[in-house]
């Protein structure tokens, strides 16, 4: 792995880990979650759309299309992650998110011709085994699994898988200069959907609290996605995504256990262990 690629990957891991932790911190402080999401998406979309509209790079229309699809799945991650963290805690929820690397990896095999070896196949199989284990763990609130809660976890898995897949798919178009348009569109769609959710279910907000956490989350969101695209320029998706998932999961789980005492049950720990092993094997 080139030194530049290693530095980019390390920065991506730190930024990606921060997202769920910032969101959980805002949730624990009683912030209006949808307002936090709205501020987050408005900040990130404003940043990238301003850059994109000033330059109007080649491939802007293509970036708009990809960004619109990615924006829908990205805001789904946000909304489902809120629900998942409430009933399962941040460690198990993030484990489900991290396992979604299986989606772009499968696409890399079927669409881009990356043939996995036997260890990588075992990694994918273990990932599929870990998901139901994480779902069946009672989580931090010891709430039993219901069909609705299972749907939340499966939806979270698929939403992040589609988001990662769209990042990789757009990266293959070769329109690197249009990345601000892609990201700006993705975050703008998120802002619109968050606004519609809030309008349908009005909730009071504190103002400064939501703005503070929303801006922090927006900065994290903006940095994560541009770093992922930059890392994909120098590393294969089949290498970058598993490492990002495994190390990010370990960091998030450790932080949540030490700081918030969100300690999974035995089944949850077993699922997290399988998830880490799965993404390591998938990278070998």
Interval 97-114: pLDDT, tens = 877 877 877 777 777 776
> In whole angstroms, what is the distance from residue 56 CA to residue 52 CA?
6
Give residue 36's pLDDT.
95
Cα angle: 115, vertex 118, 122; to 5 degrees: 110
Question: 2 falls in which pLDDT band (50, 70, 90)?
Answer: low
Helix (H, G, I), strand (E, B), or coil: what is residue 116?
Answer: coil
Displacement of CA 260 from its chain's centroid (Å): 21
Query: Domain range holding 132?
Result: 3-282
Position 83 pLDDT exceeds 90: no
How many structural domains are present in the chain? 1
Query: Cβ(101)–Cβ(241) under 8 Å?
Result: yes
Output 276 or 56, whichever has higher pLDDT. 56
Q: Which of 62-66, 175-179, 203-207, 210-214 has the lowest mean pLDDT?
A: 203-207
Average pLDDT value for residue range 203-227:
91
Cβ neighbours of 246 (radius 10 Å): 22
**Maximal CA-CA distance, the chain:** 53
Cβ neighbours for 158, distance < 8 A, ≥ 6 positions apart: 100, 103
pLDDT, tens digit, for every residue of 223-243? 998 898 888 888 777 667 777
**pTM of the predicted protein model:** 0.80
Mean residue pLDDT of the chain comes to 83
Helical residues (DSSP H) of the chain, grouped into ranges: 3-28, 33-55, 60-99, 102-110, 118-136, 147-171, 179-200, 208-232, 237-259, 266-282
Q: Which residue did the predictor score with more confidence, 283 or 105?
A: 105
Query: Can you give the pLDDT at residue 261?
Result: 80
| Better-predicted residue by pLDDT, 267 or 175 | 175
Residue 155 main-chain phi, psi, to 5 deg: -65, -40
Task: Write the DSSP symbol of residue 145.
Answer: P
**Taking 60 as the threshold, does the pLDDT of residue 1 lie above it?**
no
Residues 47-82: tens digit of each pLDDT: 999 999 998 899 999 999 999 999 999 999 999 998
Residue 202 DSSP code? -
Question: For residue 158, which of 218, 214, 81 has the smallest C-alpha distance?
Answer: 81
Sequence-distant (≥ 6) Cβ neighbours of residue 167 within 8 angstroms:
70, 104, 225, 228, 229, 232
């Amino acid at each position: 792995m080139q030194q530049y690629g290693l530095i980019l990957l390390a920065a991506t891991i730190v930024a990606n880990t921060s997202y769920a932790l910032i969101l959980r911190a805002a949730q624990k402080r009683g912030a209006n979650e949808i307002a936090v999401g709205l501020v987050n998406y408005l900040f990130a979309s404003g940043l990238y759309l301003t850059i994109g509209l000033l330059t109007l790079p080649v491939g802007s229309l293509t970036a708009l299309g990809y960004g619109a699809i990615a924006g829908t799945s990205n805001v789904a991650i946000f909304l489902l992650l809120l629900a998942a963290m409430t009933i399962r805690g941040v460690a198990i929820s993030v484990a489900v998110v991290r396992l979604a690397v299986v989606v772009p990896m499968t696409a890399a095999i079927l669409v881009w011709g990356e043939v996995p070896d036997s260890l990588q196949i075992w990694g994918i199989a273990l990932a599929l085994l870990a998901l139901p284990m994480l779902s069946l763990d009672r989580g931090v609130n010891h709430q039993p699994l219901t069909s609705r809660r299972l749907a939340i976890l499966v939806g979270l898995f698929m939403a992040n898988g589609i988001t990662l897949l769209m990042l990789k798919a757009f990266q293959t178009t070769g329109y690197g200069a249009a990345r601000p348009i892609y990201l700006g569109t993705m975050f703008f769609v998120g802002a619109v959907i968050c606004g519609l959710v809030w309008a349908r279910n009005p909730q009071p907000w504190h103002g400064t609290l939501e703005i503070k956490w929303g801006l922090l989350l927006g900065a994290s969101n903006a940095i994560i996605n541009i770093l992922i695209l930059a890392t994909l320029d120098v590393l294969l998706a089949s290498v970058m995504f598993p490492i990002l998932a495994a190390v990010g999961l370990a960091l998030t789980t450790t932080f949540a256990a030490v700081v918030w005492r969100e300690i999974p049950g035995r089944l949850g720990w077993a699922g997290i262990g399988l998830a880490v092993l799965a993404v390591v094997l998938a990278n070998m």
